[in-house]
Amino acid sequence: MTVPLEKAQSSSAAISEKSEDLWEAQDNVDTRNPVVKSSEFAYRATDLVHINNDGVKHAAKHIRQKLLVESYTPRTWRTHPLHICPSEPYNPEDSLNKSVLDWIFLISSLNFSFWSEKEGRPDRYGVEWLSGWDSDEKKVWTGYWSLVASLNRALEEDIPITDPQFYSSETLCPDSLIEYVFREAKQSSEPIPLLRERIAVMREVGFILCNSYGGSFKGFLDEFQRKHDGQGTSIDLVKMVTTTFPAFRDEVYYEGTKVCLWKRAQILVAEAWAAFYPASSDSPHPLFPGPQGPEISRLTMFADYRVPQILHHLCILTYPASLLRKLHGLVPLAPGSREELSLRSASIIAVELVREEILRLIKEEGGDSDGASKAGAVSSVLIDFYLWDLAKKVESGEEKIEGVETAEMVPIHRTRSIWY
């Protein structure tokens, strides 16, 4: 399921000496993430969106302080009112944990294309459900959270929508039932985007789980552990996901070179990592019990349409005038186009550099930068989680960034795709 990319007539963009060291370091380890190396190629080859190294340094200092002040850690995942949290202490035989893994898997399978032509209007697609599992009040959820709310609502209605054995079956779970699960709120005048594509993804991933892994994502993880003798890491799991499920194979070819972006595969692994992150960072992670642990620092940010927006606002990314005109004009960017690939690859590299700069600051102050990286307290995953939340808050006017230079908040890029 690859998309051919247009060839770009462009010269390579200059990357800082620091980033050159980063690529070499990635190349020198067996566990390197293919997303890093291929994104570096795409960044050079497209030569459109550029990284502002001064912006990286200033924003890294700001982001680090925010992570500290807001106590933003992997455990923050458990605080969202829509999340279903696993039991503690971890018990592999607990049926709740199996259900949480299936819930995370389906959400990650369908985590794409939530932007609306009616952005900012009350009649955009939304899902009416509770404000949280512990609340009696209802609200209309939009964007990514509309997906989570719709699945939670179905579970509350005793529809086992997150069970692969259910949603893979056209008999048990006909298309009409899936349409009902994703039904829009009364105030909405549009359906969920790419409904047919979502149904196709559900059938495909459900079929694979049921035919090869005992009908659950836990079965898939059990096979992952067996394959790696209990020593598999997060990047090993990402690779197995992209190899096994075509719907997670977020890859394109640009000028004859394969570029791996793997947004949903990485976010699937990252969500599972955060959901099951132990109460003490000194405890082994139940999903990655080997001596190396998860090695979550090997994962990159998740290249979507929301994080590039906040990276530009923070002056980390710079856009040429031609791209700004398209964004302001709400011009769709084709999947695999030069503009789209440049936005995604530049974002991946930029967040890697922010992570490296934060670790440098910690080390400069005498802190344990290696420990922070290993525990996932400083990782591109956690930085992505924070930046995505920040982008939503800034766009809605809930929060304003102060103490660091910012650029205008431009509209997100509009690309309809099952990849993000």
Active site residues: 304
Q: At 260, which amino acid appears?
A: C
Q: At 209, which amino acid appears?
A: L
- Residue 330 token pair: 């709400």
Helix axes 263-275, 234-244, angle to 10 degrees: 130
CA separation for the pair 57, 78 (Å, rounded): 30
Among all chains, which residue has been given the structure tokens 């030069």?
338
CA separation for the pair 403, 102 (Å, rounded): 42
> What phi, psi does 6 have (nearest 5°)?
-65, 150
Residue 211: CB partners within 8 Å, gap ≥ 6? none
- Residue 11 token pair: 């010269």
CA separation for the pair 371, 309 (Å, rounded): 30
Nearest residue to 357 (alpha-carbon basis) of 77, 67, 14: 67
Phi-psi map region of 33: left, alpha, beta (phi>0 left; psi -120 to 50 alpha)? beta
Nearest residue to 385 (alpha-carbon basis) of 317, 314, 300: 300
**3-class DSSP assignment, residue 253:** strand
Nearest residue to 112 (alpha-carbon basis) of 192, 216, 189: 192
Asked if residue 181 lies in contact with residue 188, where contact means CB atoms within 8 angstroms, the answer is no
- Residue 295 token pair: 């090695």
Nearest residue to 376 (alpha-carbon basis) of 33, 72, 107: 72
* Residue 100 CB neighbours (<10 A): 23
Nearest residue to 169 (alpha-carbon basis) of 212, 208, 207, 217: 207
Distances (CA, A) of 342 to 14, 88, 202, 298, 309: 14, 42, 29, 21, 13
